[in-house]
């Protein structure tokens, strides 16, 4: 199993450009998440999905859109990139368990917006 994969690994954008980050998981997990990681801020939830065809806003959703058309994929879109969106983006997936959630993370995408 590949677990959680993310494409691309690195990207540099100019202000105003758009792009889509792809997350894929092969563990048949219902839940998927997008986080951003910034120095001194920890991980902050952007959007999440509780199942195919569903999405919901997290803590910092502005400037991002998501789609979950297939259970295994969760896409994060930036319609008009801004320098404030320079960050490392992590995707994660999880399943429901009585012992509390374990989220499985992807390797991250480092995005720079100039």
Partner 1 sequence: AQRVTQPEKLLSVFKGAPVELKCNYSYSGSPELFWYVQYSRQRLQLLLRHISRESIKGFTADLNKGETSFHLKKPFAQEEDSAMYYCALESATNKLIFGTGTLLAVQP
Binding residues for partner 1, rule: CB under 8 A, are 4, 31, 35, 40-45, 48, 50, 90, 92, 94-96, 99-103, 105-108
Please state the closest distance from residue 33 (CB atom) to partner 1, in A.
8
> CA 36, 41, 93, 61 torsion: positive or negative?
negative
Helix %, strand %, coil % for the chain, to 5?
Answer: 5, 50, 45
As a whole number of angstroms, the distance between CA 67 and CA 51 comes to 11
Identity of the residue, 31 or 64, whose beta carbon is nearer to partner 1 in the bound complex:
31
Q: Measured from the CB of residue 16, what is the shortest distance to partner 1 in angstroms?
A: 30
Whether residue 72 contacts residue 106, with contact meaning beta carbons closer than 8 Å, is answered with no
Taking the least distance from each CB to partner 1, the nearer of 19 and 105 is: 105
Distance CA(89)–CA(85), nearest Å, equals 10
Instruction: Identify the CA nearest to 25 among candidates 71, 67, 60.
Output: 71
Nearest distance from C-beta of residue 51 to partner 1, angstroms: 11
Q: Is the Cβ of residue 17 or residue 104 nearer to partner 1 in the bound state? A: 104
């Amino acid at each position: 199993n590949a677990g959680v994969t993310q494409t691309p690994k690195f990207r540099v954008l100019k202000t105003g450009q758009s792009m889509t980050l792809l997350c894929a998981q092969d563990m048949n997990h219902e839940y998927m998440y997008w986080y951003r990681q910034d120095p001194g801020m920890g991980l902050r939830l952007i959007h999440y999905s509780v199942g195919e065809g569903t999405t919901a806003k997290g803590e910092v959703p502005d400037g991002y859109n998501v789609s979950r058309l297939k259970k295994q994929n969760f896409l994060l879109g930036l319609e008009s990139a801004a320098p404030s969106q320079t960050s490392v983006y992590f995707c994660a997936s999880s399943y429901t368990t009585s012992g509390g959630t374990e989220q499985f993370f992807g390797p991250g995408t480092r995005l720079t917006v100039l």
